[in-house]
């Protein structure tokens, strides 16, 4: 485990972890043994009268100096493991990593968007961490890296993948109802394969533009396309239906038409379908243009 690892940070993090674990286990065992020894050695039956002990300078110096050295050792390994994480090599490949309720997405400098993070082997990659809504945290356990993704802040992380393969990406900052479903993958492939991947589109040739937009904006993480209930109403068969909605001034009935879909995307809290919670969806006013909403609506119409 400590030899190579999936990224350039595995060695430093594991070394720190095992040093701290080793020190902790040593003290757990030693202190427990001392406690048991004292309990038996100074039991009441043998020592009916307690004896008073006054201070001991040698002991006090020992239990001040040794713990100080130990915490400095822990700090030293923590620091030399952490410092390189904040120093991004100048030639690192920049990728924008977006977190939103509840999915990750990645955007490359040529404009290619992807739901999984694809990176070349043995090349430094820098992730610019951008939140579209609330606090998230991008965590790649196999690479031993984790950074918070905070709206309005420009945080970053970098790594060099050292082994081909697929590794999990998690969100490690509780971000709402479907936080635990906020999963993705890093796929590490040889550089030539990566360059070929970068140039070709991942979007299936005959995919309706509305569906592509719904995937890219994470609509489908809360609204199913097959009728199952997740966080919001399913899109299946909803177009043209009459639904009861809750507004600030009470309940009313509306027909799901172009206008209602646009309003729900721009002001999601205004008319919430009864039985669903208000406040879970953000406004997509700055993210989706009128023509995007048209494509989405056209696609929803086909979901019969
Ligand atoms: Cu999250």
Q: What is the pLDDT of residues 231-286, one digit of tens each?
A: 888 998 888 888 898 888 888 888 898 888 988 899 888 888 888 888 788 888 88
- How many angstroms does the Cα of residue 227 sit away from the middle of ligand 1? 25
Neighbours of ion ligand 1 (CB under 5 A): 136, 171, 175, 182
Using a cut of 0.85, tell me whether the model's pTM lies above it.
Answer: no
Question: Of 231 and 34, which is predicted with more confidence?
Answer: 34
Task: Lowest mean pLDDT of 158-162, 197-201, 228-232, name the range.
Answer: 228-232
- How many angstroms does the Cα of residue 217 sit away from the middle of ligand 1? 14
Signed CA dihedral, 199, 203, 208, 210: sign only: negative
If you ran DSSP here, which 8-state letter would residue 7 be given?
Answer: B
Q: Residue 176 — left, alpha, or beta (φ > 0 → left; ψ -120 to 50 → alpha)? A: left
- How many angstroms does the Cα of residue 233 sit away from the middle of ligand 1? 21
Share in percent of the chain as helix, strand, coil (round to 5): 35, 25, 40
Mean pLDDT of 199-207: 82
> What residues contact 128, with CB distance under 8 A and at least 6 apart?
94, 95, 96, 97, 154, 156
pLDDT computed for residue 237 by the predictor: 86
Q: Count, in order, helices (H) and strands (E) of the chain.
A: 6, 13
> What residues contact 222, with CB distance under 8 A and at least 6 apart?
101, 102, 178, 230, 231, 232, 280, 281
Percent of the chain with pLDDT over 90: 55
Cβ atoms of 184 and 169 closer than 8 Å? yes
- What whole-number distance in Å separates Cα of residue 206 and Cα of residue 175? 34
- How many angstroms does the Cα of residue 68 sit away from the middle of ligand 1? 38
- What whole-number distance in Å separates Cα of residue 256 and Cα of residue 11? 56
Question: Of 228 and 173, which is predicted with more confidence?
Answer: 173
> What residues contact 65, with CB distance under 8 A and at least 6 apart?
none
99: enclosing H helix or E strand = strand 93-100
- How many angstroms does the Cα of residue 82 sit away from the middle of ligand 1? 23
> What residues contact 133, with CB distance under 8 A and at least 6 apart?
100, 101, 151, 175, 282
pLDDT at 16 over 50: yes
If you ran DSSP here, which 8-state letter would residue 136 be given?
Answer: E
- How many angstroms does the Cα of residue 212 sit away from the middle of ligand 1? 22
47 exposure class (CB count in 10 Å sphere: 0-12, 13-18, 19+): exposed
Shortest CA distance to 265 belongs to which of 301, 208, 223? 223
């Amino acid at each position: 485990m400590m030899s190579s690892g999936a990224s350039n940070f595995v060695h430093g993090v594991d070394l720190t972890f095992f040093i701290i674990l080793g020190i902790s286990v040593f003290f757990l065992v030693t202190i427990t043994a001392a406690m048991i020894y004292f309990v038996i050695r100074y039991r009441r039956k043998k020592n009916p009268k307690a004896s008073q002990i006054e201070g001991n300078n040698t002991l006090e110096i020992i239990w001040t100096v040794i713990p100080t050295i130990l915490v400095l050792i822990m700090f030293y390994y923590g620091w030399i493991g952490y410092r390189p994480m904040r120093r991004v090599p100048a030639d690192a490949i920049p990728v924008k990593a977006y977190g939103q309720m509840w999915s990750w997405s990645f955007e490359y400098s040529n404009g290619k968007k992807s739901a999984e993070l694809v990176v070349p082997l043995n090349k430094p990659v820098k992730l610019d961490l951008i939140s579209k809504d609330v606090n998230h945290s991008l965590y790649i356990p196999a690479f031993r890296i984790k950074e918070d993704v905070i709206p309005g802040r420009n945080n970053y992380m970098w790594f060099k993948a050292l082994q081909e393969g697929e590794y999990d990406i998690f969100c490690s900052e509780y971000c709402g109802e479907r936080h635990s479903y906020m999963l993705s993958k890093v796929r590490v492939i040889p550089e030539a394969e990566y360059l070929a991947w970068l140039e070709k589109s991942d979007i299936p040739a005959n995919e309706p533009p509305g569906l592509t937009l719904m995937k890219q904006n994470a609509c489908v993480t809360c609204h199913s396309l097959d009728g199952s209930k997740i966080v919001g109403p399913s899109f299946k068969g909803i177009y043209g239906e009459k639904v009861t909605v809750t507004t600030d001034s009470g309940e009313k009935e509306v027909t799901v038409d172009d206008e209602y879909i646009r309003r729900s995307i721009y002001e999601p809290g205004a008319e919430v379908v009864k039985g669903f919670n208000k406040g879970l969806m953000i406004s997509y006013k700055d993210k989706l243009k009128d023509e995007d909403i048209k494509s989405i609506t056209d696609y929803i119409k086909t979901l019969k």
